[in-house]
Structures are given as structure tokens and as C-alpha cells.
């Protein structure tokens, strides 16, 4: 359908006279930030200007207890599109052909299920998952067939791709996935653009120009420093650069939603905004602490306006995205086998009931194995009510540091201050960051910074055992190969299936 037809349709719809140019169908727009956090007015950050996210929040239910199931880019995106944790779908670390990090061939992803249900699918921006047969999209403009800076950061280019997708829309419902590359760091790969690519497309000589972007600059004094980031001039300048690219993404979100409105789809499209994992700062991305897993989430349904502008405190996960979208399209949940006869079932919840009334959900799970291929540090976690339990399976080894975070100004400043014995202005030290206990138990009501480990406190023995049982049950339900680790080995043909290793752990 042409843009002119869409404009006519919008006008005629007001008179009830669209003459069949298109049927009123349910659609979905999923918008994903890359390493984004709570730096927006929608989450009460008054230091940054995000008018488009703020406006979306007014049309949405805002979740204050939303979490990723894994704090790493590709594993998170694979989990988001399969409804399965990384240890179940096979995307253990960052997707790359060299090391063959892919989801298992028999996984039934959301785009595959939607295609089978005759729903048109599209992806614009960062994909970073594979293999292609598991994640097929009808319309695809990603790093696989273009520059990631253009399809993921150039908001004018993104706008035009969204317009192209909508103008070529047929009679089917659609699912459009717009995955921004902002505000991900790029100083390790394109240092000329700044730590967060904040100079890309700003019109300076050699930096290109993005016609629709009005760059917003911030000073180190402007920013709000989260508790888990050192409050130093270097870290503040790093956050200021991050704010600039969040502003670019915010303006891009405004452009995308305007295209949806002009095309006449705004009032029949479920819009979801969230991020893939924690921000790329100390205790953020690659960590299963609150600071590494807590995510923004806005869900805007044109059919559930009674909760627009409200806040939900339900504990929800990115594993809930697949069941939500399947419910929106009235598609049955998949039931299949990846290996042998073990049946895969979705463990997430549909969020549609939350759009009508507050549910009693107070538990989420997370699971991490790798980030980069050399970063093997398996962790499992359960957050139940105020209590957070983290199981570090590789606890006798130092916690690994990823490449772009290592070269970041904030981490280099933290290293230099630690080496020289200077004040770090950080809430912990590098020794305790690197070397962790096998079990970490936190009471977030009393200790929101997750500093005091209660795992060995006899007063919390019952809580610890309860959470261990919950976590182990979820691991068995999701076919976790690490369920017996690190002091046992999984032998499925024996009883019990966890056989002890007697390895002194």
C-alpha cells in the first residue's frame, strides 16, 4: 500500500469509510535498546531529555521490576525471541560464526512461529543471533546485509526502512522488530566516534550527518550516577557521552512511532520497548546482580487504555515477550523437542493479563554461561520478592572482563586508581568484583546495593534453601546442562541424575 493510500485510509477511518484498503488487524512493534538502562524521564531520571520515551510511557504500562534472563547481547536476544533461557536455546555467548555460537537447529523462534501463522515479520537494526533458519524474517535490514552504524544508529535510515516495511505491508498482520544499536559502546571498534559513538552522524567533519538527529550534549555535572558506578570525573564524562546516544535513540523512537501513526497502524499495534541487558559499566552488563539484569519495559496496548500511564510492580522477564506476543495473535504456545524426547515448554508469562490488573508475580530467573567466547563464567539466579540468590558455578576463577568494557574510560580509570592506591569512589573494590562466593544471597529490601552476602548467615538458612529449591526446579524444567555443576556431573541414565564428583567443593 502506498503512503498516499495510508494517508487516505487514516482520514476515512475517522468516518468509518476505509473501503477495505486494509482490515483492522492486531500487529506488534517491538523496540529494543542495546545496553540501555533507566536513563530516561520515564524512569524518573530528570537529568536527561527523552521526550519520546516519556510520551510512550504515558500510553503504556511501565514495569518497575522487569529483568533480562541473561546479561549478554546475543544470548539475551535469542532468549527474547525464543522464550527459552540461553542454556536451553543454545546461544551460550555472543553470536559469531568463527566460534559457532548459535541457537540449536530445532529451536522454534518467534519469527518462525509467526511465519507459520501467516503473520508478516520484519527486523531493522541489530540482529546478532543465528542460525538464519531458526530466526527467519520476511523483511530484514541488519548487520548481515548492511552497516550496523546505519541500520542501528542512523535514525533517518531507520525511519525510512520502517516506512518501507509499512508501505509494503499486505493483508496479513505484522510483527516488526526495531533493534537500535544505541546506546552500545563503540570506542573499542570506532574510537574516532567517541566512547558511545556519540559523534557518529553529528555533522562534524568526518563524522557524517544524520538529518533527523538534533544532538544533545551533556556535561559531567549534568548526569545522575547510579550507585554501582564510580562517582568520578571520568565516569561522569562517560555517562554524559552515553546520554547523547540515548537521546539519539529517543529521537529515533519518536520517528518510528510517527511512521506507525501516519501509516494508520498506531491504534491496532501492541508496542513494547525494553533493552537486552545491563548498561556497560562496572556491575552492569555480564553480571546477574540487579544492576546487570534490571531493564526498562514499557508495554502500550491500544486495547488496554485503562492502565496507560500506570506502573506495575509485577516481577516480569524478557522470557515473557514470546508468550505475550503469541497471546496477542491468539497463537498456541509451541511444544516440541530439541534433543531426544524432552519436550520444550515456555516458562514465561503472557503480560496481557497485567494490562488489566496487577498479578501476584514475584519471581524471575536468570542464567548466564559466556559473553565473549573466552568469558566462561556460568551463573544462575533467582529473584524472589525481596531476596536475590546468585549461584556462581565458576567461583574459584576471577570474574572475566569483556573487551569494549575493558577499554572504556570508566574501567580504565578504575584500574588506574586501584593500581596507584587512589580513592575509587566505588561501592566495592576490584578484588571482591573479581572473586566471588559460590552462593550470594541478598535481602534487597534492607540492602538494595547487594553488598552484604547473607548466604552463610544462619538467620537466613531457610530462605537460602527455599531459593535453592526454586532455582534447581527451574533448571530441571528448562533442561539446564549445568544443573549438577560444579560439584556433580549430569548422567541422565543413572539415578540420581546428579552424580557426585568429590572434587572438594
Residues with catalytic annotation? 73
Contact assessment for residue 316 and residue 354, using Cβ atoms and an 8 Å cutoff: yes
Beta bridge mates, 400: none
User: Over the range 47-58, which residues count as b (16 or more CB within 10 Å of their CB) and which as e?
Assistant: ebbbebbebbbe
Rounded CA-CA distance 189/171 in Å is 42
Contact assessment for residue 176 and residue 162, using Cβ atoms and an 8 Å cutoff: yes
For 465-485, the DSSP string reads HHHHHHHHHHHHHTT-TTTTT
Assess whether the previous peptide bond of 486 is cis (omega < 30° from 0). yes
For residue 182, what is its C-alpha cell?
544505541
For residue 337, what is its C-alpha cell?
523437542
**Which are the contacts of 128, defined by CB distance < 8 A and separation ≥ 6?**
73, 74, 77, 94, 95, 143
Rounded CA-CA distance 66/69 in Å is 10
Q: How far apart, in Å, are the Cα atoms of 496 and each of 342, 484, 504?
A: 18, 11, 20
User: Over the range 300-322, which residues count as b (16 or more CB within 10 Å of their CB) and which as e?
Assistant: bbeebeebbeeebebbbbbbbbb
Contact assessment for residue 338 and residue 104, using Cβ atoms and an 8 Å cutoff: yes
For residue 416, what is its C-alpha cell?
588506574
Contact assessment for residue 199 and residue 186, using Cβ atoms and an 8 Å cutoff: no
Rounded CA-CA distance 61/32 in Å is 16
Rounded CA-CA distance 483/79 in Å is 18
Main-chain dihedrals φ then ψ at residue 293, nearest 5 degrees:
-120, -25
CB atoms inside a 10 Å sphere around CB 29 = 23
For residue 455, what is its C-alpha cell?
548466604
For residue 497, what is its C-alpha cell?
541424575
**Which are the contacts of 100, defined by CB distance < 8 A and separation ≥ 6?**
none
Rounded CA-CA distance 445/224 in Å is 22
**DSSP summary character for residue 386:** T
Amino acid at each position: 500500500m502506498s503512503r498516499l493510500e495510508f494517508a487516505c485510509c487514516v482520514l476515512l477511518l475517522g468516518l468509518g469509510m476505509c473501503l477495505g484498503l486494509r482490515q483492522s488487524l492486531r500487529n506488534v512493534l517491538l523496540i529494543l535498546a542495546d545496553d540501555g538502562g533507566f536513563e530516561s524521564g520515564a524512569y524518573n531520571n530528570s537529568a536527561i531529555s527523552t521526550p519520546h520515551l516519556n510520551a510512550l510511557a504515558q500510553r503504556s504500562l511501565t514495569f518497575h521490576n522487569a529483568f533480562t534472563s541473561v546479561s549478554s547481547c546475543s544470548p539475551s536476544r535469542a532468549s527474547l525471541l525464543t522464550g527459552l533461557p540461553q542454556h536451553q536455546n543454545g546461544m551460550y555467548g555472543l553470536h559469531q560464526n568463527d566460534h559457532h555460537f548459535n541457537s540449536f537447529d530445532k529451536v522454534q523462534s518467534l519469527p518462525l512461529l509467526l511465519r507459520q501463522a501467516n503473520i508478516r515479520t520484519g527486523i531493522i537494526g541489530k540482529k546478532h543471533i543465528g542460525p538464519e533458519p531458526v530466526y527467519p524474517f520476511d523483511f530484514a535490514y541488519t548487520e548481515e546485509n548492511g552497516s550496523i552504524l546505519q541500520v542501528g544508529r542512523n535514525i533517518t535510515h531507520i525511519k525510512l526502512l520502517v516506512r518501507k516495511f509499512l508501505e509494503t505491508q499486505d493483508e496479513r498482520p505484522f510483527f516488526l522488530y526495531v533493534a537500535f544499536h544505541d546506546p552500545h559502546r563503540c570506542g573499542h571498534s570506532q574510537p574516532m566516534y567517541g566512547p558511545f559513538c556519540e559523534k557518529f552522524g553529528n555533522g562534524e567533519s568526518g563524522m557524517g550527518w544524520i538529518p533527523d538527529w538534533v544532538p544533545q550534549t551533556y556535561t559531567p555535572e549534568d548526569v545522575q550516577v547510579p550507585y554501582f558506578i564510580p562517582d568520578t570525573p571520568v565516569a561522569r564524562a562517560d555517562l554524559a557521552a552515553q546520554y547523547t546516544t540515548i537521546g539519539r535513540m529517543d529521537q529515533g523512537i519518536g520517528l518510528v512511532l510517527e511512521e506507525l501513526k501516519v501509516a494508520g497502524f498506531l491504534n491496532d499495534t501492541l508496542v513494547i520497548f525494553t533493552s537486552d541487558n545491563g548498561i556497560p559499566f562496572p556491575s552492569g552488563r555480564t553480571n546477574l546482580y540487579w544492576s546487570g539484569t534490571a531493564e526498562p519495559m514499557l508495554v502500550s496496548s491500544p486495547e488496554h487504555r485503562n492502565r496507560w500511564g500506570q506502573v506495575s510492580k509485577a516481577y516480569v522477564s524478557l522470557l515473557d515477550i514470546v508468550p505475550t506476543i503469541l497471546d496477542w495473535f491468539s497463537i498456541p504456545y509451541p511444544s516440541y523437542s530439541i534433543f531426544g524426547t524432552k519436550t520444550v515448554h515456555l516458562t514465561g508469562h503472557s503480560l496481557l493479563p497485567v494490562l488489566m490488573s496487577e498479578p501476584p508475580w514475584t519471581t524471575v530467573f536468570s542464567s548466564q554461561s559466556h559473553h565473549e567466547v573466552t568469558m566462561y563464567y556460568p551463573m544462575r539466579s533467582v529473584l524472589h520478592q525481596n531476596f536475590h540468590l546468585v549461584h556462581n558455578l565458576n567461583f574459584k576463577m576471577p570474574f572475566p572482563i569483556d573487551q569494549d568494557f575493558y577499554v572504556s574510560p570508566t574501567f580504565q580509570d578504575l584500574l588506574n586508581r586501584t593500581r596507584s592506591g587512589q580513592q575509587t569512589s566505588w561501592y566495592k573494590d576490584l578484588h571482591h568484583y573479581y572473586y566471588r562466593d559460590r552462593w550470594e544471597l541478598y535481602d534487597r529490601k534492607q540492602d538494595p546495593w547487594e553488598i552484604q552476602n547473607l548466604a552463610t548467615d544462619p538467620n537466613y538458612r531457610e530462605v537460602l534453601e527455599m531459593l535453592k529449591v526454586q532455582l534447581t526446579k527451574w533448571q530441571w524444567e528448562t533442561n539446564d546442562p549445568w544443573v549438577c555443576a560444579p560439584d556433580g556431573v549430569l548422567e541422565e541414565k543413572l539415578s540420581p541424575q546428579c552424580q557426585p564428583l568429590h572434587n572438594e567443593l
